[in-house]
Structure 1
Amino acid sequence: MRLTLAQLEQDAGSVDTALDAAESAVEDAAADGADLVALPELFAVGYFAFESYARVAEGLDGPTFGRLRDIAADHDVGLLAGSHVEDLEASADAGYDVPDNGGLANTTTFFDRDGSLQTTYRKHHLFGYESAEARLLTAGEHLEPFEFDGFTVGTCTCYDLRFPELTRELVDDGVTLLLVPSAWPYPRVEHWQTLTRARAIENLWYLGAINGVGAFDSATLLGRSTVYDPWGTALASAGDRPAHVTADLDPDEVTRVREEFPALADRR
């Protein structure tokens, strides 16, 4: 299975322009044989554009999610559609299951090759340090792994990387590939590289960490999107400019590594 991480430039501009850039990236990745394309966290508005969250928020039946659904179907790829600001009340009105306390959420979706919505993940750990995310958004409550091309795929978002108990839950759910859409800023390069690699090593799975690039008034995203194998070896990575990060993954490799080094079976 060929995975492409689309490291996109973020700004606080037009959602439509950001979606056009995302579609162009998906089109190029599909032409290169990608089966699954992953986009960064809040790429359409920019994570640090907190004043725009309410303006761009919509339900899961809204136009942004609809456009992403069409992008997956039009290019015949699985699409981990980064994340977008979800209006939970609007989603509930459309018949979706949402957290009871409502509000807005940082929501990741995965669309299959036919554009069908396979899973929804709402960021569990909301960042508070010099960030308005924890004040503006509602935390998610559920993990929903999904099946794609021989992998059981899980997802978490950016700050979630600092909480390994969440990924242990995903291991227990059978996950063999973790995708992590992010908006990780400078100067915490070592944190980004260490935590992503550690989550791959300790769980003996593939991990695709998809970050954005670009500068905001309060922060600059550091890029460095990377695909790790189950040993924690980087298969492909980028710097801090827009890029495609592509690697071929073998679901049988996860089984082989876990049999050769059965650390998960030795947990107490």
Structure 2
Amino acid sequence: MKIALAQLDQTAGDVTENVDRAATAVADAATRGADLVVLPELFTVGFFAFESYARVAEGLDGQTFGRLADIAADHGVGLLAGSHVEDLEASADAGVDVPATEGLANTCVFYDRGGKRRAVYRKHHLFGYESAEARLLTAGERLSTVEFEDFTVGMSTCYDLRFPELYRRLADRGVTLVCVPSAWPFPRVEHWKTLARARAIENLTYVAATNGAAEFEDATLLGRSTVYDPWGTTLASAGDDPALVVADLDPDRIESVREEFPALRDRRD
């Protein structure tokens, strides 16, 4: 399977422009033979555009989510559509099963090649340090996986990388590829590289960490979107400018690595 990570620039608060930019990246990825495209966290609004969250929030059947589904279908690719601000009440009113009936969530959606919504993940760990994210959003409670092109794909988001127990739970569900839409800022470059790589090594799985490349009033995203294999080896990576990171993933690689180094068998609860 060929995966493409779309490391996007972002315009704070401008959903239309940001989704247009994502559509161009998905089209480019499809031209390059990508089967699965992964977009960054809250690329639709810009993670640090906190004042815009309530204005752009919508239910899972809303206009922005619908356009992302259309982008997947138009290009015939699987699309982990980064994340967008979900209005949980609007989703519930539309008959979508949600963990809470009010509030906003940082929500990733996986669309298949036909644009059908196949999985939903709401960010579990909201950034602390008295951040606006923790004040404005409701944490998710459920893990989500989806079968795609001989992979069992799991999802997490940005700050989740600091909590390895979440990734162990995904491994227990048979996940062989974890996609991590993110909005990781400077100066924590070494944290970004080390944590994503560690999640791949300790769970003997592929990890595809997609970051943005954008500058906001109070922060700059550091880019460096990277695909790691089950040994923690870098298959493809970018610098801090907008880029499309493409790598080939082999589902048989998971089995061969786990046979050669069966660390997961040695776990003790």
Give TM-score scaled by structure 1 length. Answer: 0.99
Structure 2 residue aligned with 1:256: 256
Which string of whole-angstrom CA distances, capped at 9 and with x for unpartnered residues, describes residues 119-178 of structure 1? 000000000226200000000010011100000000100000000000000000000000
| In 2, Cα distance between equivalents of 1:100 and 1:129 | 24
Question: Aligned residues: percent identity?
Answer: 74
Q: Which moved more, 1:168-177 or 1:99-108?
A: 99-108
Which string of whole-angstrom CA distances, capped at 9 and with x for unpartnered residues, describes residues 51-73 of structure 1? 00000000000000000000000
Structure 2 residue aligned with 1:200: 200
CA drift at 1:30: 0.1
CA drift at 1:217: 1.1
Aligned 1:99-114 pairs, distance under 5 A: 99-100=99-100, 102-114=102-114
| In 1, Cα distance between equivalents of 2:233 and 2:218 | 32
Contact 2:13–2:49 (CA under 8 A) maintained in structure 1: no
CA drift at 1:214: 1.1
User: Closer, same or farther in 2 for the Cα pair 1:245/1:108, shift >3 Å?
Assistant: same
Residues 1:39 and 2:35 are matched in the alignment: no
Q: Name structure 1 gaps, 5 residues minimum.
A: none
Contact 2:177–2:205 (CA under 8 A) maintained in structure 1: yes
| In 1, Cα distance between equivalents of 2:107 and 2:78 | 17
Structure 2 residue aligned with 1:118: 118
CA drift at 1:99: 1.4
Q: Name structure 2 gaps, 5 residues minimum.
A: none
| In 2, Cα distance between equivalents of 1:39 and 1:129 | 26
| In 2, Cα distance between equivalents of 1:164 and 1:248 | 25
Structure 2 residue aligned with 1:127: 127
Structure 1 residue aligned with 2:231: 231
Structure 2 residue aligned with 1:50: 50
Which string of whole-angstrom CA distances, capped at 9 and with x for unpartnered residues, describes residues 18-67 of structure 1? 11110000000000000000000000100000000000000000000000
Structure 2 residue aligned with 1:59: 59
| In 2, Cα distance between equivalents of 1:133 and 1:11 | 18
| In 1, Cα distance between equivalents of 2:101 and 2:91 | 13
| In 1, Cα distance between equivalents of 2:18 and 2:104 | 20
Q: Which moved more, 1:213-222 or 1:98-107?
A: 98-107
Q: Which moved more, 1:213-222 or 1:171-180?
A: 213-222
| In 2, Cα distance between equivalents of 1:101 and 1:71 | 28
| In 2, Cα distance between equivalents of 1:173 and 1:138 | 24
| In 2, Cα distance between equivalents of 1:87 and 1:101 | 9
Q: Which moved more, 1:81-90 or 1:92-101?
A: 92-101
- Aligned Cα RMSD in Å? 0.8
Runs of 4+ in structure 1 deviating by more than 3 angstroms, as ranges, are none
- Helix, strand or coil at the partner of 1:29: helix
CA drift at 1:101: 5.3
Structure 2 residue aligned with 1:74: 74
Structure 1 residue aligned with 2:149: 149
| In 2, Cα distance between equivalents of 1:238 and 1:264 | 30
Contact 2:79–2:110 (CA under 8 A) maintained in structure 1: yes
Give TM-score scaled by structure 2 length. Answer: 0.98
Aligned 1:157-176 pairs, distance under 5 A: 157-176=157-176
- Helix, strand or coil at the partner of 1:222: coil
2:178 is aligned with what amino acid? L
| In 2, Cα distance between equivalents of 1:114 and 1:19 | 18
| In 2, Cα distance between equivalents of 1:255 and 1:146 | 19
Report how many aligned residue pairs link the two structures: 268
Q: Which moved more, 1:166-175 or 1:13-22?
A: 13-22
CA drift at 1:11: 2.5
